[in-house]
Structure 1
């Protein structure tokens, strides 16, 4: 139910080939779902570590697969630190985004491959990609490079833009300040799947966006919610908060003149909205509650 299913498929294949017997991960939610489901299908034990304040939908949709789900007090960076320590203590555990991360990250390239395929084996002019650890953006760029090098696609390499939520925007801040390193922050945003305050691939995101002529931008939580609603009512696609971030950043880039409105543009929605219902629940709902009569309906919706 998110792009993490792709990366876990690659990580699991590598883990089995390397002789690991347990699949594990620290996660902000989507990876937890993917690891739990993949391990269940493969018939192996799994351990999933999540922040204790994670959205309930993501907690349930991980636990249902029978994984050992462990809620950790603190944010994702605290969870990741614990997982790194446990990876050193359990030689037969494959932490997909720790000790088998090089394989895991390659799974994100499939997003770039599929983009080219769906466009008839050509590349878009520009793309907007959500940034958490940054691996997804970096690997999509790598995919475009591989396709170009092999002569499988037409067109120049796309301009690449990164999207973050204002409450966890260390890469955006570094980009705007002209820095080559990313200063860690403490996340505070509804976009929990992007709430990684110390992104491992942050410096590489800066390199890719600058090299391709793009940028990294951030938006408020209010703009994230509006981004979710805009995509839903115009395209019939219900995105999770990360998708809302991407749509909202696209709108901001257009307003600021940083993105070409006439160029072929691809934006990446990386998870479904059923995982983050709390983000939009306060602002959507029934138009009203009425008696079962046509008169009551007309009173509620006079123009109908």
Structure 2
């Protein structure tokens, strides 16, 4: 019996075959994968997972592919870091950083979703990969397409950080910069997807792509000793990652891998693009699209596809949402680096900034087992912090000058 039953509309419940479709033809609601959990339950155990590969594919039975994985074989299973120093600073006794800064091969959590999406795309017979991206996704699609021998087109806003643009070009895809925001890019890609037989990972292949995010939840639970955390803090762009972490934890409970899930799911956005967090703070269950204006460009989606579902997830879990200014984003990046030695991109600064706010507000308590998701590497967004970290000391090659500068004990 197949583990994937169907694609099902998240609004009206109509079911579709597991093909390259993503929108319900009746109500235009988004589609997601429906699984046969009774079948999965017969195949998995804590022991079988622990004996699996040191990658996200140790959770293959929960992922929407029919055969063996063929793309992104080394993605995932990134460190869960016990953040003693940052926890002491914030007043949280058991704080962890889920560090996707070191994910393979492009140093962001997008390597997870692309590994799943392109493995499924190849099963469906696609030869060309494509995406609309704020940066990290394009990097990952370009890299994985190169490894898979697929043609590749990536579409990005025209104002991305230089490292992310270079992180596309090095793999020799067709890189198309659009004069506009991510939402403009996404609209164009939706039109192209209707005309070309390409696997747009976050358009026509989106139901499979989104499932890759669940692996962050699976790894967290396993790395915590097969328990769900009390609190998680998740950066939000489309809102999909937040919803899938919740889904992943509850799937583990459904098949008996976790005894309970009492996790409060918290969402983090930058103030310059915070349609979901603003809706939460105003007590609304719907969001109003905005025009992004923030240094956190990887989160700059003004019309988030999963915004409604992110609000629903936070309400269901009893979590909260908040937003931080660009200055607070920079301070969050620096705080994580200076306490735990982890250099995160701007999305990580958003996560740490909101984590700090929630702790100060008492919404995250000292004894809560808390996990903050850091989804990308700071080397990709150096422009955000270059003016706030100072400059090197410059001296001639002279011991006397060194001691004059730093003193006999080596302190400035």
Q: TM-score band, normalised by the shorter chain? A: over 0.9
Name the structure 1 match of 2:199: 94
Name the structure 1 match of 2:362: 257
Q: Which sections of structure 2, spanning at least 5 residues, go unmatched?
A: 1-106
Partner-residue secondary structure (3-state), 2:404: helix
Structure 1 position 230 matched with structure 2 position 335: yes
TM-score (normalizing by structure 2): 0.72
Task: Give the drift of 1:285.
Answer: 4.1
Q: Residue 248 of structure 1: which of 353, 377, 389 is its match?
A: 353
**CA offset digits 1:139-162 (Å, max 9, x no partner):** 010001101111101343300100
Aligned residue pair count: 303
Name the structure 2 match of 1:216: 321
Structure 1 position 166 matched with structure 2 position 309: no
Distance across 1 between alignment mates of 2:270 and 2:281: 14
Q: Which sections of structure 1, spanning at least 5 residues, go unmatched?
A: none
**Matched-pair contact (CA < 8 Å) for 2:250–2:261:** no
Name the stretch that deviates more: 291-300 or 158-167. Answer: 291-300
Distance across 1 between alignment mates of 2:304 and 2:366: 30
RMSD: 1.0
Structure 1 position 20 matched with structure 2 position 126: yes
Name the stretch that deviates more: 276-285 or 218-227. Answer: 276-285
Structure 1 position 3 matched with structure 2 position 109: yes
Structure 1 position 37 matched with structure 2 position 143: yes
Distance across 2 between alignment mates of 1:280 and 1:301: 25
**Matched-pair contact (CA < 8 Å) for 1:145–1:157:** no
Distance across 2 between alignment mates of 1:42 and 1:161: 36
Distance across 2 between alignment mates of 1:102 and 1:63: 27
Distance across 1 between alignment mates of 2:126 and 2:357: 45
Task: Give the drift of 1:296.
Answer: 1.9
TM-score (normalizing by structure 1): 0.98
**CA offset digits 1:23-55 (Å, max 9, x no partner):** 000100000000000000001100000000000
Structure 1 position 133 matched with structure 2 position 238: yes
Matches within 5 A, 1:152-191: 152-191=257-296
| Bigger proportion of residues as helix | 1
Q: Rate the CA distance shift 1:294–1:286 in 2: closer, same or farther, 3 A.
A: farther
Task: Give the drift of 1:271.
Answer: 0.6
Distance across 2 between alignment mates of 1:299 and 1:286: 18
Name the structure 2 match of 1:70: 176
